[in-house]
Amino acid sequence: MAGAERVTQRQQDTNRAGLIGAALSLAAALIWPFQAWLVAALLGRLLSGEAALVWPTVAGFVALGLVRSALEAGSHAALARHADTVLATLRTEVVGGERRTLDTSSIGGPGALSALVSEKAEALRPYLMRYRPARLRATVVPLVILVLAFWNAWAVGVVLLLSGPLIPLFMALVGWAAKDASARQMDEIGSLGDLLVDRLAALADLRLIGAGKAVTDDFAEASERLRGKTMAVLRVAFLSSTVLELFAALGVAMVAVWTGFSLLEQVHWGGDVTPTTGIWLLLLAPEFFQPLRDLASAWHDKAAADAVQEELQNWRGQERAAMPGHGQGGVAITGVLALNNISLHRGDRQIHLPDLEIRPGTRIALTGPSGAGKTTLLRLLAGLERPETGELTLDGQPLADRLDDWRAGLGWMPQAPHFLARSLRYNVGFGASLGGEVAQAALGPVVQGLPKGDLTPLGERGAGLSGGEARRVTLARALHGAPQVLLADEPTADLDDDTAEAVTRGLLSHKGTLIVATHDLRLAAQMDRVIDLGDTQ
Amino acid sequence: MNALWQIVTLILRGQSKALLRGFALSVTVLTMGAALLGLSGWFITAASVAGLAGTGALFNVFVPSSMVRFLAMGRTAARYGERVLTHDATLRALSDLRVSLLRGLLAQPWRALERLRANAVLNRVTADVDALGGVLLRLVLPGAAGVLVVTGAGVVLAWLVHPWVGLWVAGMWLLCPTLIFVLGQRLARKPARRQEAALQAARSRMVDMVAAREDLAVYGQLSTAQRRVDDAFWREATARRALDAVERRMGFGLDMIGTLVVGGALAIGATLAEAGTLSAAQVALGALAALALGEAVAPVRRALAEVGRMTQAARRVAPSLTTVRAEPSAVAPKGVLMLDAVTSGRFAPVTVRVAPGETVALTGPSGRGKSTLLYMAAGVLLPAEGRVSLGGQAPDEEAIWRQSVVMVPQRHALIAGTVRDNLAMAGPSTDEAMLAALDSVALYDVIAAKGGLDARLGFRGTGLSGGEARRLVLARALLAQPRVLLLDEPTEGLDRETARRVMAGLRAALPDAAFLIAAHRAEDISQADCVIGLQGRAATGLKF
């Protein structure tokens, strides 16, 4: 429970930083009435011909300005820290969560998840740093100024009150319209981005049929169409925020006009203003509306943050199987594997596996039609599947209990590997230097053909490698570190004869247990034992 | 900054009219804002003087009070217009930028273009373009409008109030924010670059961890992979903190400048008023205008926060925008396709000769250069040695070469849109020609069942099976009516019977074209007049 307490503690600290930041920004906003008073008082003294006290007043004004700027900076620092912690916590949560699960996420593939933790998570930052303090200021500052206005001249208070209560109403309208508009606008702009990605991805190949001009013309047209639609949405969105601004501007203008008339003694109602209070109220009036405008302009930050929060909730709500084992290496062990009455589901399909005993050093080919369970059996042995019934044991003990040590002695050759965006060397040895496996997997010529040898970075889907070359890299990785057991899934599928032969030679050069799932009869023929999984169904 | 400047000029050239109008309105908004507050201050103070003197009845209240109302309404209206116009201009600029990027990329070397298929690169390019969309709205327009309005206000204040007040207000508001921008921009450069690099690393490492999750688990590398993602995010957060600190310090500086400008205007004005040179109303006008001008300078903060990102984006995008637009100067080549002892250096030199109406197949294990030879024939890769020609003409200008030579690579490059949109990529053709082309590749019935030429495909052509997509790109190549058709594994993913029909259909549709095919399936090879096996370091030619 200590861990959970620590998390709660950290969350509290984080929330406190957020609150402090918002409070500091509020305090900064509340300094302005004092500064404004100094300005108004100085002008008032100039008008009445008293001693103006110019320098003390200006010094006070600047000193208060210094305090205000410092409070703003403090607020920014606290809010930035708050946002940093929130984002870091969230990223750790998602990265850790993905590392611990076996099933793929329903919110999308690697690209979608990576976008969620990187740029989408960033959308929370403006929300935390701008929207929340703006909301606090919008609830307090107008009230304070309203009280000051009524205290000095009730007419000004009434003017502000009349335009004020309308503002929450308009805020609701604006927020509603803006949310709707920004959602639609985001959709439009998003789809234009997608359209560009779509064209860019196809560009290399389209160029080969001379479609360059067609692509650009077509895209320009689509782009223009989307611009029209987006502008239609934006016009409405801007209109609603303009109404808000209009009220603010008229509010200020009415305060100025009433104060002027009152000072000229053209009006005799609404309170008694002196030149000083008149100027002071004029300086305060814009600040009555400013927090509301800040809040309105931060509104789409909230909309964006809400969308991300929703996606995170979906991510959290998924029921996903945990990744067996710790996935951090162990001390290699081996022994007699035994499968006993194992069955499991693959989608709607029920798979029964035959009872088997596999002694160290045996070479086994798993054959049978697609769907017979060849890959499933290999995945079970690698600890990537859990049997629903029956048991899988190593020297009589459940394999699951010793999975990390078992995996430490495993060479694994999946059918479609994903290469890491690192060097070929790292993809084979995971940081260890390479040895005999390069020759065993006939990787030499491949490495020689690469621009930077084995330090050439491999990209998505092994960018730059042909199918056969990629397979040899996978084989070299499986052979690396001389594993005791090698599991290979269709190692020769889709390869030309030469490459298939090289891969077969590489597999046979392995000294320990070898289990291959294959359709390749030539490969199967060279194993000690062939198990046809199709027979057992 | 040079790259950024290049992008700015590109946008300015394309959208000068819309921008000029947006700029005029920006200036109007700022001017009216400063005038509103300055006038209000003057009005109240002048009214006080008149009230105190007991001459209130003589004071002309109607001009200033209606001016105040006019400015309030006018500012709001101008603001609306400004927002609509500048957003419109920005969207136009973004659209222009995207189109020029597409055009520019088309002129890039083939290898550079090929890298674009990786999602990471694609996302980066689009994110960069989006970041550059803000160049006008947050950098150029506010900057230009701010300078103009502050200068103008300085002149007006010098005239209405006092030269010293005008000089102080305009000088400070111009000089200090500019200095802060230049300094902040320089200080933020390094952390901004680090932050971006770390975020990119985090992104790609996260992709790796999730995509290779199972393999990493089996190899005991999952914890390492997770740590690497966390590390990258940690570096990102560190750089981000440095950036935040720069932003905070510069923000503090800007705040303080605002205080100093207003305080200074007040001090200068009040001192002059005490000396009897100025009236209190003039002092109020100067101080309040100085205060209102803060709005003109406010965008510096936002610009500082984003200029780093924009500069980097510009640096990456700008090189792709330089296009050399040459009008085709020669006629489309025709005749015999010759690959004369060509090699990329990775295989032994190969000589291939394909006459019109002939079919030549290249066979051999993967990685021996079949596709490379086709790309050389397509004129997008240069052979390290040897020469490619068609009727004696070399592929010097891609636009001309493409009028005769068309290639269908292994992947199916389809785009989101209708079947017709996809077919039209090969050039304008009639519906009849399109349907005939579909028929040639045994796809007519499939497409008809999906709704004909108007059937919609998703991004990258989703909605068709692999074999259907394959045949659709073949049909598209037919519509280009090439003299030479280069095909890389044309019937991959098709069953034997369909493969045979497709190959026969292609030949029937283009009886006089030269076909050069990279193949390993018997169906592709069966109709060939000549098969060239690329075996190891030497090529062997077999004449049938």
Residue A511: how many CA atoms within 13 Å on its side-chain side?
8
How far apart CA A129 and CA A83 sit, in angstroms, is 7
Q: How many domains does chain A have?
A: 2
Residue A112 and residue A164 in one domain: yes
Residue B338 token pair: 């010759």
- Find, among B313, B365, B180, the residue nearest to B258 by Cα: B180
Residue A308 and residue A343 in one domain: no
Q: What is the pLDDT of residue A134?
A: 92
Pairing relationship of beta strands B514-518 and A410-413 according to DSSP bridges:
unpaired
Q: Please, which contacts does B421-424 make with residues 24 or more away whose CB atoms are closer than 8 Å?
A: B421/A218, B422/B457, B422/B461, B422/B472, B422/B476, B423/B453, B423/B472, B423/B475, B423/B476, B423/B479, B424/A214, B424/A218
Contact predicate B368/B384, CB 8 Å:
no
SS3 assignment for A22-85: HHHHHHHHCCHHHHHHHHHHHHHHHHHCCCCCHHHHHHHHHHHHHHHHHHHHHHHHHHHHHHHH
Q: Do the domain assignments include residue A330?
A: no
Between A46 and A14, residue with greater pLDDT: A46
Q: What is the pLDDT of residue B325?
A: 56
Residue among B68, B280, B403 whose CB faces A47 most closely: B280
Query: Could you give the domains of chain B?
Result: 2-319 (1.20.1560.10), 337-543 (3.40.50.300)
Residue at which a domain ends, from A316, A347, A378: A316
How far apart CA A311 and CA A317 sit, in angstroms, is 10
Contact predicate A153/A270, CB 8 Å:
yes
Give the closest-approach CA distance of A148 to chain B in angstroms. Answer: 19
Q: Residue with structure tokens 């590489």? A: A506
Q: Which of B32, B44, B235 to mutate to test the interface with A (most CBs of A within 10 A)?
A: B44
What average pLDDT does this structure show over A519-532? 90
CB contact under 8 A, A329 and B221: yes
Residue A91 token pair: 């990223």
Pairing relationship of beta strands A337-346 and A349-352 according to DSSP bridges:
antiparallel
Residue of A nearest to B65 (CA): A257
CA dihedral B431→B435→B438→B444, nearest 10 degrees, is: 130
Residue A421 and residue A521 in one domain: yes
Residue among A96, A208, A324 whose CB faces B378 most closely: A208
Contact predicate A101/A65, CB 8 Å:
no
What average pLDDT does this structure show over A453-482? 79
Give the closest-approach CA distance of B473 to chain A in angstroms. Answer: 10
Q: Do the domain assignments include residue A190?
A: yes
How far apart CA B353 and CA B338 sit, in angstroms, is 5
Burial A197-215 (b: 16+ CB within 10 A, else e): bbbbbbbbbbbbbbbbebb
Q: What is the pLDDT of residue A3?
A: 47
Query: With contacts defined as CB-CB under 8 Å, which chain A residues touch B134?
Result: none
Residue A467 token pair: 């199918």
Q: Residue with structure tokens 């004092």? A: A34
A187 has a pLDDT exceeding 70: no
Cα–Cα–Cα angle for A82, B210, A418, rounded to 5 degrees: 145
Q: Do the domain assignments include residue A327?
A: no
Question: A462 in the Ramachandran plot: left (φ > 0), alpha (ψ -120 to 50) or beta?
Answer: left
Q: What is the DSSP letter of A458?
A: P
Cα–Cα–Cα angle for B507, B512, B516, rounded to 5 degrees: 65
Residue of A nearest to B345 (CA): A449
Residue A128 and residue A33 in one domain: yes
How far apart CA B489 and CA B471 sit, in angstroms, is 12
How far apart CA B111 and CA B100 sit, in angstroms, is 19
Residue of A nearest to B366 (CA): A468
- Give the three-class secondary structure for B363: strand
- Give the three-class secondary structure for A516: strand
How far apart CA B265 and CA B257 sit, in angstroms, is 12
CB contact under 8 A, B260 and A211: no
Q: What is the pLDDT of residue B538?
A: 41
What average pLDDT does this structure show over A297-324? 84
Provide the CATH number for the domain around residue A21: 1.20.1560.10
SS3 assignment for B8-33: HHHHHHHCHHHHHHHHHHHHHHHHHH
Give the closest-approach CA distance of A369 to chain B in angstroms. Answer: 18
Query: With contacts defined as CB-CB under 8 Å, which chain A residues touch B251?
Result: 72-73, 76
- Find, among A356, A335, A479, A478, the residue nearest to A401 by Cα: A335
Q: Do the domain assignments include residue A329?
A: no
How far apart CA A281 and CA B106 sit, in angstroms, is 62
Q: What are the helix (H) ranges across B405-521?
A: 419-424, 431-440, 444-450, 466-479, 496-509
H-helix or E-strand containing A177? Answer: helix A154-207
How far apart CA A140 and CA B312 sit, in angstroms, is 41
Cβ–Cβ contact A227 with B under 8 A: yes
Q: What is the DSSP letter of A464?
A: T
Residue A430 dihedral angles phi and psi, to the nearest 5°? 50, 45
Query: With contacts defined as CB-CB under 8 Å, which chain A residues touch B480?
Result: 209-210
- Give the three-class secondary structure for A480: coil
Residue at which a domain ends, from A284, A316, A348: A316
The lowest-confidence range among A70-79, A498-507, B6-15 is B6-15
Q: Give the distance, in angstroms, between the CA of residue A339 and the centroid of all CA atoms in the same chain.
A: 41
Find the radius of gyration of the CA atoms of chain A. 35
Q: Do the domain assignments include residue A476?
A: yes
- Give the three-class secondary structure for B202: helix
Between A31 and B466, residue with greater pLDDT: A31
Between A502 and B367, residue with greater pLDDT: A502
Q: Do the domain assignments include residue A104?
A: yes
- Find, among B372, B361, B385, B376, the residue nearest to B490 by Cα: B361
Find the radius of gyration of the CA atoms of chain B. 34
Cα–Cα–Cα angle for B430, B436, B439, rounded to 5 degrees: 145
A with B: how many residue pairs have Cβ under 8 Å apart? 440
Specify the length of chain B in residues. Answer: 544
The model's pLDDT over A397-426, given as tens digits with 9 standing for 90+, comes to 999 888 999 999 999 999 877 888 888 899
Residue A297 and residue A358 in one domain: no
Residue A392 and residue A518 in one domain: yes
Residue A278 and residue A382 in one domain: no
Q: Do the domain assignments include residue A326?
A: no
Query: With contacts defined as CB-CB under 8 Å, which chain A residues touch B427?
Result: 210-211, 214
Residue A160: how many CA atoms within 13 Å on its side-chain side?
30
- Find, among B176, B188, B185, the residue nearest to B254 by Cα: B176
Residue at which a domain ends, from A316, A348, A371: A316
Q: What is the mean pLDDT of each run of 10 residues along chain B (544 residues)?
A: 82 81 90 87 85 72 84 89 86 83 80 69 76 83 92 94 94 94 92 90 89 90 94 95 93 95 95 90 91 89 86 85 62 87 81 92 78 89 89 85 88 83 87 92 89 84 80 92 91 81 92 90 80 62 38
- Per DSSP, the residues of A254-299 read HHHHHHHHHHTTS---S----HHHHHHHHHHHHHHHHHHHHHHHTH
Q: Please state at what angle helix B62-106 crosses helix B119-132, rounded to 10 degrees.
A: 150
Give the closest-approach CA distance of A506 to chain B in angstroms. Answer: 18
How far apart CA B287 and CA B42 sit, in angstroms, is 10
Residue A298 and residue A358 in one domain: no
How far apart CA A71 and CA A78 sit, in angstroms, is 10
Sign of CA pseudo-dihedral B80, B81, B82, B88: positive
How far apart CA A146 and CA B358 sit, in angstroms, is 90
Residue B484 token pair: 């030479």
Q: What is the pLDDT of residue A410?
A: 92
Contacts of B307 (CB under 8 A, 6+ apart): B139, B181, B185, B188
Residue A209 and residue A357 in one domain: no
Query: With contacts defined as CB-CB under 8 Å, which chain B residues touch A258?
Result: none
Residue A362 and residue A502 in one domain: yes
Give the closest-approach CA distance of B147 to chain A in angstroms. Answer: 24
Residue A310 and residue A405 in one domain: no
Query: With contacts defined as CB-CB under 8 Å, which chain A residues touch B260?
Result: 62, 65
Residue A287 and residue A401 in one domain: no
- Give the three-class secondary structure for B353: strand
Cβ–Cβ contact A430 with B under 8 A: yes
CB contact under 8 A, B259 and A421: no
Cβ–Cβ contact A370 with B under 8 A: no
A462 has a pLDDT exceeding 80: no
Chain A window 150-179: which residues touch B at a Cβ cutoff of 8 Å? none
- Find, among B118, B99, B115, B139, the residue nearest to B8 by Cα: B139
A141 is in which domain, residue-wise? 2-316
Burial A475-508 (b: 16+ CB within 10 A, else e): bbbbbbbbbbbbbbbbbbeebbebbbbbbbebbe
Provide the CATH number for the domain around residue A355: 3.40.50.300
Cβ–Cβ contact A329 with B under 8 A: yes
Give the closest-approach CA distance of A47 to chain B in angstroms. Answer: 6
CB contact under 8 A, B413 and A204: yes
For chain A, how long is the longest CA-to-CA vector? 112
Neighbours of A405 (CB within 10 A): 17
Q: Do the domain assignments include residue A323?
A: no
Residue among A245, A264, A421 whose CB faces B50 most closely: A264
CB contact under 8 A, B222 and A47: no
A385 has a pLDDT exceeding 70: yes
* A476 band by pLDDT with thresholds 50, 70 and 90: very high
How far apart CA B129 and CA A95 sit, in angstroms, is 28
Cβ–Cβ contact A330 with B under 8 A: yes
Pairing relationship of beta strands B350-354 and B337-343 according to DSSP bridges:
antiparallel
- Find, among B103, B87, B81, B82, the residue nearest to B10 by Cα: B103
* A184 band by pLDDT with thresholds 50, 70 and 90: low
- Per DSSP, the residues of A116-172 read IIIIIHHTHHHIIIIIHHHHHHHHHHHHHHHHHHHHH-HHHHHHHHHHHHHHHHHHH
What is chain A's mean pLDDT, rounded?
84
